[in-house]
A and B are shown apart, each in its own frame.
Chain A
Amino acid sequence: MSLWEYANPVKFIRTTDKVLPWVWALTGICLVTGLVWGFFFTPDDFRQGSTVKIIYIHVPSALMAINAWLMMLVASLIWIVRRHHVSALAARAAAPVGAVMTLIALATGAFWGQPMWGTWWAWDPRLTSFLILFLFYLGYMALWEAIENDDTAADLTSILCLVGSVFAILSRYAVNFWNQGLHQGATLSLDKEENISDVFWFPLLFCIAGFVLLFVALVFLRTQTEIRARRTRALLAREGQA
């Protein structure tokens, strides 16, 4: 059986309906395990104290913020090449989830940064890149909303996603360059993976898995909604014509 069969909207809804409860259950298990383990059963960091525990939300959401855009990019490419409607709608469905993940990453970053660096916000390259990524999400969603014809909107947003990806990468490098230029040697290191110990690492893995599953579940659900909305519009149009 070919993977492309799931590109049929009806088939997609039927399959995801079967899968979704399991995904939700797994999401719940992973998130509860990861967060409870992380918050209550790991020692405080010798330097950062208990504030380090925000890592269990910050890192997974930041990962998903980027991966959501990657998923949208792949879905857009599939729409451009193979013209599967589900693909375009899945990209549309993923955008708000990705935007919220970006916001969570930025907000938790601010909460973490305040006690650690003494500031809610710094124009650190990573922070700045995430802010720019958030702007890209906003533009992408606004374009979807602005265009009435579904296929035109799908075409235009996919091209925007492609072009936007290139510019997002460019911005990432530009921001790195710019910040070095501003204050040399005074950059704030955000590298956690380097010096993290296993005690923190395992619950973090659970949280990451939980966020991935949460993303999958939300995108499935939202894609179903988009498909049904599209179906309603098609039915209404036919009704009006008859």
Chain B
Amino acid sequence: MKALLTRDLMLAIRAGGGFGLGLSFFLIVTVLVPFGVGPQTELLSRIAPGVLWIGALLACLLSLDRIFALDWEDGSLDLLATAPLPMEGIVSVKALAHWITTGLPLVLAAPVLGVLLSLPIPAYQWVVISLAVGTPALSVIGTFGAALTVGIKRGGLLMSLLVLPLYVPTLIFGAEVARRGAEGLTVQAPLLLLAGISFGVIALLPFASAAVLRINLR
């Protein structure tokens, strides 16, 4: 399992586009928003928490199809399936690798991009906390979507269609934490619910992803 994680991280670094791509996409989305809605500081600072969350979500989505597609094409997935690793473990490691290469950089970059959107000062910590708690859920749910569409050629669009509705609760609670934090309200309730979703999907969804992957491999 550790070997698989190390290999995936090494590939992400060497192949390029692993760490950088999602991050650049996040940056571009954030830069485009002011062009779309206008440069007024009050408006931007009001929508900043939500924009950062949506940007992070889209950046996550962008790199999902790489989770299994490469291993599927070169036959590694078949070989991994016959290896002494449980399929649930494989999908969990894949989700973890995706989070480290995509989710974690987004969490770290969010405060910097917050400056561009004149994010209110009290919101910074909550944007970072909510993304840190919420992005693992995005990776795990995305892994399920990637496992569903792994056998389909050019399944990227289909995967977005399947995954985005599943992202709704995470997005709602995550953005709510950030927004309430920005307005100086109490964030306990949405934060707990967000953490609940994250822990719930980390604990349960790998079983569904593994089942789906087994079906796709046969």
A interface, CB within 8 angstroms of B: 132, 135-136, 138-139, 142-143, 146-147, 152, 155-156, 159-160, 162-164, 167, 170-171, 173-175, 177-178, 181
Whether a CB of chain A sits under 8 angstroms from the CB of B169 is yes
Indicate with 1 or 0, residue by residue over B167-191, a CB within 8 angstroms of chain A CB atoms: 0110011001001100000000110
Q: B152: which of A146, A155, A173 is its contact (CB, 8 Å)?
A: A146
Chain A binder among B32-40, B59-67, B210-218: B210-218
Is A167 within 8 A of B169, CB to CB?
Answer: yes
Chain B contact residues: helix, strand, loop or mixed: helix
Whether a CB of chain A sits under 8 angstroms from the CB of B113 is no
Q: A155: which of B149, B172, B176, B215 is its contact (CB, 8 Å)?
A: B215
- Report Cα–Cα, A173/B200, bound state, in Å: 15
B interface, CB within 8 angstroms of A: 144, 148-149, 151-152, 155, 158, 161-162, 164-166, 168-169, 172-173, 176, 179-180, 189-190, 193, 197, 205, 208, 211-212, 215-216, 218
List residues of chain A with CB within 8 A of the CB of B216. 152, 156
List residues of chain A with CB within 8 A of the CB of B211. 159
Is B172 within 8 A of A136, CB to CB?
Answer: no
Is A174 within 8 A of B161, CB to CB?
Answer: no
Chain A contact residues: helix, strand, loop or mixed: helix
- Report Cα–Cα, A35/B161, bound state, in Å: 36
Is B152 within 8 A of A147, CB to CB?
Answer: yes
List residues of chain B with CB within 8 A of the CB of A174. 168-169, 172-173, 193
Is A170 within 8 A of B155, CB to CB?
Answer: no
- Report Cα–Cα, A191/B172, bound state, in Å: 24
- Report Cα–Cα, A123/B169, bound state, in Å: 15
Is A163 within 8 A of B172, CB to CB?
Answer: no
- Report Cα–Cα, A167/B149, bound state, in Å: 18
Is B148 within 8 A of A160, CB to CB?
Answer: yes
Residue of A nearest to B166 (CB): A167
Q: B158: which of A146, A155, A178 is its contact (CB, 8 Å)?
A: A146
Is A152 within 8 A of B215, CB to CB?
Answer: yes
List residues of chain B with CB within 8 A of the CB of A173. 169
- Report Cα–Cα, A100/B179, bound state, in Å: 35
Is A163 within 8 A of B166, CB to CB?
Answer: yes
